[in-house]
Every structure is written in C-alpha cells, then in structure tokens.
Amino acid sequence: MGVDPTPAPGAGAPARPDLVPDPSALLTEEDLRIKKPRSYTGLLMLLLIAVGAFGLYRVMQEDISNPRTRGNPNIQVAPPSLQDLTKGSEDVELPPPPKKAMLRLESDPPGARVVVNGNVVSSVTPTAVQTFVGRFADVRMMMPGRLPQGTRVKVDEDEVEVKLALEEGVPPSGSLYVETAPAGAELSLNGNAVGITPIKLPKVAANTEMTLALRKEGYYPHVVTYTLAEGEERDLGIRLIQDTGPRSIAVVNVESIPLGAEVTELRDDGENKVRGRTGRYPVKLNVPIDRPLHLRAEAERHAPAEAFLDVREPFYTLYLRLPAPEAFHGKLSIIGAKGLTVFVGSEEVGATPVRDYELTEGDHTIVVFDEKSRVRKTFDVRIDRNKTLEKSVVLEGDTISVH
C-alpha cells in the first residue's frame, strides 16, 4: 500500500477539489447552536409538591376544627383542640356567664374545709363563695377528727346560707397513690397540702368525694375528684399540660366507676346532649371557663351518678362512681321427690319440697342430693325478675331427673 503524499491540512498545500469539504463549512450559524431537549420533569415535581402541600393543609384544618380530643389509656389529659388553640383570643366570642349568687358557708364547729362544685374554697368556715343562680350547689365540709358532711342546695336567690354540723368520728378509709407526668407536682387534698408527686396516701377518707389539686411551676393546674370505696387501693396518673398562657376554655375529662357509663350533659334549655361513653379513654369535654357544668353518668342496672362543676381551672378529671347495682329478685320452687337436699351454689337451702325460695335475678347452679343412695343431680336455672320458676325432681333408683 502506498503512502498518500498529500500534505496534512494547514501545512500550506493547495486545496484539492476532489476531496470532500469540511462539513462544518456547510452549516449556518443557526445550525451551529446546540438545542437542549425540552423536559417537563421539574414542572411536574413542582405541581406534585403544591398538591401535597394543599392536601396537608386541608387535613390540618379538619383536625383543628374537630372538637373531639384524643385520650391516653394511662394518663388522663386531652391534647389541644380548636378551643385550646384559640384560648384567650379576642376573636372567640363567648356568651356572658350566668348570674351569680353568694353562698355563705358555716359549720359546727367552725374551721372546716369546704368544697363547692368541685372547687376547694380558699378559706375555712365561716366563709363565702360565689356560685351560679338557677343551679344546684354540691357542698362538702370536712375537718380532722370529724365525719365529713355534704348537702345539695338549689341556688335560686342572690344569697344562700348553708350550715352543717360535723359529728366526731373517724370515717372509713382507703389508700391512694398519685403520680404525675412530669413528676414533682404539689398535691393538696381537700385544700390541705399533702406532698409532692409521686406520693402514696395510705389513709384517705372513703365513701366521700375528695378533691385533689395538682400544681407545678410552668404547667396548668389540674383538679381531680375521686371517691374511694372502703378498703379500696387506687392508683391515679395525671399528665400535666405545659402552661402557654391564659385560657378561656377548660378541658374536662370524665371517667366512671365502673367503666361503660354513658355521659350526658344536662342543660338549662332542656337540650341535653350525650357526650360519649367511658371506657378505655375518658370522655373529654371542652367547656368555657367561668361556666357551670351538670353531668350525668348512666349504666345498666346502676342508679345514675351526677356531678355539678363550676369550671374555674383549665383542666379537670372527674371520676363518677355509680351506686352498686340494684339487686332484683325472683323465686324458685323445687317439688316432686321428698327429702332430697337442695343446694344453690355451695349453700344448702333445705330439703324438698322447697317453695318460693328467693334468688337474685340471673343464672344459678342447683344441686339436688339424695343422702341414702348418694345420688346427686346438678342443673342450671335462670331466675327472672319478680317471677317464680318451678322445677320437679324425680328419684328413680340411682337416677334423679329434673322436669
């Protein structure tokens, strides 16, 4: 193969017409401009971000507007709701509070601590406190070495007097353990300072409502009402909410003993409103401060329990203890073979025939026993309220049958 003698371009050799010209020489200035391909990815990303931000905004607005507050199964306090977020705002218009009256309080002997509608009066008897006209006032007085006393009065005048006699005696008691999150709150019981949380109170008056006030610097005060049964040991846990300024709305947490009670707010206008049912979470209400609140808790087979609260503090937890279930009765008659021993559960009730034996409403286990043959028969019965159930037993050899 020969070597091309043509000099390299730029070496001063003349151009040859038989050679292909430089392609760049055929392009115009417009052709030489580099055109970047168009991309819509950035625009699409911006659009997606805008849509996502709008959706998040709508969700937050709906959550803020929802008056339902969320609970905690262990610690009793509501997180912020719409009313919490607007507390103290000039834009929130509240109706004027109801008319108030003076409640004058005396005890025999004087010097008793007083609680009126869930709030401890700052001074001992004789003293006075304001409450709302047209409402009931629950008044409790207590003094060391005396049995606590209480009464409920209708406040339908500008001034009402209440005087209670406190007899000497020691009330039955239970024990109470109180902890807070965070710890270190000052605890007072019915107006008497008792210590710093967490704290165990081994001997607290039972069968009477007690009012606990929790205070810690930097946190809102929290008031708890509770009634111990005789000999009961109870643990209470309260989460305190950080103080962020004045509030116009209080959060009221409602529990019941036992759980499962329907809580209704009773209003002056007769438009009573069911606020929820107690259970794993408390029933939570947002109530304007400096307003009265009347609640009723109801559960099957229990008499209802009521609470009257003058809302003054920003946070409350009310435990409503329902009275013990009403006992309803029916009757059982066992006839037929004579001389058979009858047991209801483990209790011997006599020999057949058994007539009109009173039993509580519900299911019972009956045992019929023949002492001679040592034969027994066990069967279940259901006793209905105010009715008599009749069963006939037949002894045949080593067998007892029930009809």
Whether 70 shows a pLDDT value over 70: the answer reads: no
Residues 6+ apart with CB under 8 A from 148: 140, 141, 142, 166, 171, 205, 208
- CATH number for the region 329-402 comes to 2.60.40.180
Q: Is the pLDDT of residue 205 over 90?
A: yes
Is residue 24 over pLDDT 60? Answer: no
Separation CA 299–CA 369 (nearest Å): 40
Query: Rounded mean pLDDT of the chain?
Result: 83
Q: Where are the domains of the chain?
A: 39-68, 100-165, 173-321, 329-402
In the numeric block, which tokens belong to residue 257?
Answer: 């003993």
Q: Sign of torsion, CA 345 346 351 355?
A: negative
Q: Determine the average pLDDT of the residues in 202-213.
A: 95
> CB-based contacts of 187: which residues, under 8 Å, 6+ apart?
178, 193, 194, 195, 196, 197, 199, 212, 213, 214
SS3 call for 188: strand
How big is the CA angle at 32 (ends 27 and 36), to the nearest 5 degrees?
Answer: 140
Class of domain 100-165: mainly beta
Dist. CA 110–CA 151, nearest whole Å: 17
* Per-residue pLDDT tens over the stretch 246-264: 999 999 999 999 999 999 9
Q: How far apart are CA 375 and CA 395, in angstroms?
A: 9
- Contact between 141 and 164 under an 8 Å Cβ cutoff? The reply is yes
Query: How do residues 321-335 score in pLDDT, each as one tens digit?
Result: 999 887 788 999 999
Banded model confidence at residue 89, pLDDT cuts 50, 70, 90: very low
pLDDT tens digit sequence for 280-332:
999 999 999 999 999 999 998 889 999 999 999 999 999 999 998 877 889 99
CB 234 within 8 A of CB 174: yes
Contact 87, 246 (CB under 8 A): yes
> Which of 362, 300, 308 has the alpha carbon at shortest distance from 325?
300
Q: Would you say the pTM of this structure is higher than 0.95?
A: no
Domain 100-165 matches domain 329-402 at the CATH topology level? yes
